[in-house]
A and B are shown apart, each in its own frame.
Chain A
């Protein structure tokens, strides 16, 4: 009887838990496109797990250098973890697969790239609408020896980006 009660209590508090995971959520990073910042072990024996923050996307507190999780423009079911290289108005000198040499990031879009070479990023699919961005990585929680802030303290600048003068 007490077990039934316990289950009922958990069910009762489920909505609050879901609400909480909609503000802050824990995700596992798979793939190697963010090496060496995330998943530095190439054999992928362990994968990094991070705490992702959705509030700062809602309040538009993100900047160049932040790591974000976003829905892939090519497949809505897949989620990518990339670094914001440029925000709206910036001019980016692109890399290999992109047909254009320079791109100005349109309004309400960002330019994302992986830290590693082999990465499917804005050089393939172009600037990404902000509506696809889900959350921002704030903290690494697993593995235990990597607990902490994962290479977030990157400078606000990038050698291939000329920022808008207003910012």
Chain B
């Protein structure tokens, strides 16, 4: 095998330089095309490792891999529901992607922190147009809307679809919200 490769290299070197440039240029384009194809896939969905304590017990602190649905929030942003798990760009740092649960949609009245730790327990906020209220499942170890307020929906990257790793923990994330009639 290595000698075969060597032969091909010898043949390549014996060609005129114009052919060499053309050949290398074409190969570079093909490589860019391959990268582009991978990138196109990320419009539909991605496989991403998750880490951090803020979503315990739904997601473990480390070592879990999930499938992210990147398509439906582009295709139909209105399909977002309370209780969905979303990944979004942190409003505190655009290079960080965070994962939280959607609690409130535009127009909802939210109690900022019922425990009264991060804000007085009587403080309520109306979620503005185009915004949402997000909270980590592990309230004690999460920086979320209780700290920085409602966040624009434009920051959403995707929605969690399923956990695929570890295999034994395979789950399709279902929306757990139940609405009370009154």
Contact = CB atoms under 8 A, between A and B. Distances in A.
A15 B36 contact: yes
A15 B151 CA distance: 32
B88 interface: yes
A128 B94 CA distance: 11
Interface of B: 29, 32-37, 39-40, 77, 88-94, 128-131, 151-156
Contacts of A103: none
A73 B91 CA distance: 12
A129 B94 contact: yes
B128 A74 contact: yes
Contacts of B90: 108, 131
B33 A76 contact: no
A107 B37 CA distance: 35
Contact of A131 (B33, B77, B88): B88
B36 A71 contact: no
A10 B30 CA distance: 13
Contacts of B155: 129, 131-132
Given A15-B33, A15-B40, A71 B92 contact: no
A73 B35 contact: no
A129 B152 contact: yes
A19 B39 contact: yes
A16 interface: yes
A18 B128 contact: no
B94 A130 contact: yes
A131 B36 contact: no
Given A76-B77, A76-B152, A131-B155, A107 B129 contact: no
B39 A132 contact: no
Contact of B37 (A15, A128, A130, A133): A15
A19 B36 contact: yes
A76 B154 contact: yes
In order of increasing CB-CB distance, the 10 nearest A-B pairs are A15-B36, A131-B89, A71-B154, A19-B36, A74-B130, A15-B37, A130-B94, A73-B152, A129-B91, A76-B154
A72 interface: yes
A15 B38 CA distance: 8
